[in-house]
Amino acid sequence: MRKKVLIHSLVFSPDGVSTAYLYNDIAERFAESGYEVVVLTTTPHYNLVKEELVKQPLIKKWFGLFYESDFKGIKVLHVPQRKFNNTLLRIIGFAYWHALSLLLGLLQSNISLIISPSPPLTLGAVNIIIGKIKGAKVIYNVQEIYPDLLINYSKLKLKPVITLLKKLERFVYNYSDAVTTIDKIFYNTLAPRFKEPSKLVIIPNFVDVDLYKPLPSSSLSLLNKNLFPQDERILKVMYAGNIGHAQDWKPLIEVAKLLIGDPIEFWIIGEGVMKNQLQSEILENKLLNIHLIPYQPREYMPALIAYADIHFIFMSPEMEGQGFPSKVYSIMACAKPLLIISGKDTPIFNFLNLVNCAFLVNEGSMEEKCSAIVYFLRSSYEDKSHLITLGANGFREIQGCYTKASVTKQYVDLSDKLLNI
Domain count along the chain: 2
E strand segments, 227-379: 235-240, 264-269, 290-293, 310-314, 338-341, 358-361
Whether the predicted pLDDT of 192 surpasses 90: yes
Between 45 and 73, residue with greater pLDDT: 73
* Residue 253 within a domain: yes
The domain in which residue 103 lies consists of 4-206+403-418
Q: How confident is the model at residue 155 (pLDDT cuts 50, 70, 90)?
A: low
Whether the predicted pLDDT of 145 surpasses 80: yes
68 near 59, Cβ under 8 Å? Answer: yes
Phi-psi region of 385 (alpha: psi -120 to 50; beta: other; left: phi over 0): alpha
Convert 374-383 to b/e letters by CB count within 10 Å (16 or more is b).
bebbeebbee
* Residue 212 within a domain: no
* Residue 248 within a domain: yes
Residues 157, 172 within the same domain: yes
Report the SS3 class of residue 343: coil
Sequence letter at residue 85: N
C-beta neighbour count of 251 within 10 angstroms:
17
Tell me what the mean pLDDT of segment 178-185 comes to. Answer: 94
Main-chain dihedrals φ then ψ at residue 168, nearest 5 degrees: -65, -40
Residue 343 maps to which CATH number? 3.40.50.2000
How many residues are there in the chain? 421
Residues 410, 350 within the same domain: no
Chain-centroid distance, C-alpha 210: 19
Q: Which helix (H) or strand (E) holds 111?
A: strand 111-117
Residues 407, 383 within the same domain: no
Q: Which helix (H) or strand (E) holds 60?
A: strand 59-61
- For 175-178, the CB contacts below 8 A with 24+ separation are 175/128, 175/138, 176/124, 176/127, 176/128, 176/138, 176/139, 176/140, 177/131, 177/137, 177/138, 177/139, 177/418, 178/137, 178/138, 178/139, 178/140, 178/414, 178/418
Summarize pLDDT for 236-278 with one digit per residue, the tens.
999 999 898 889 999 999 999 999 999 999 999 998 889 999 9
Between 237 and 94, residue with greater pLDDT: 237
Residues 117, 229 within the same domain: no
pLDDT at 379: 97
* Residue 211 within a domain: no
Residues 222, 242 within the same domain: yes
* Residue 94 within a domain: yes
* Residue 99 within a domain: yes
Q: How far apart are CA 57 and CA 53, in angstroms?
A: 5
DSSP state of 345: T
Residues 387, 355 within the same domain: yes
Q: How confident is the model at residue 220 (pLDDT cuts 50, 70, 90)?
A: confident
Residues 39, 174 within the same domain: yes
Residues 108, 192 within the same domain: yes
Tell me what the mean pLDDT of segment 75-87 comes to. Answer: 88
Summarize pLDDT for 379-413 with one digit per residue, the tens.
999 999 999 999 999 999 999 999 999 999 999 99
Whole-number percent of the chain with pLDDT over 70: 99
Residues 223, 171 within the same domain: no
Residues 412, 344 within the same domain: no
Residues 222, 256 within the same domain: yes
Cis link prior to 197 (omega < 30° from 0)? no
Summarize pLDDT for 285-319 with one digit per residue, the tens.
999 999 999 988 888 999 999 999 999 999 998 87
Q: Which of 333, 330, 289, 335 is nearest to 313 (CA)?
A: 330
pLDDT at 76: 98
pLDDT at 154: 60
Sequence letter at residue 268: I
Tell me what the mean pLDDT of segment 327-349 comes to. Answer: 95
Residues 395, 407 within the same domain: no
pLDDT at 153: 62
Tell me what the mean pLDDT of segment 156-173 comes to. Answer: 86
16 near 269, Cβ under 8 Å? Answer: no
pLDDT at 23: 96
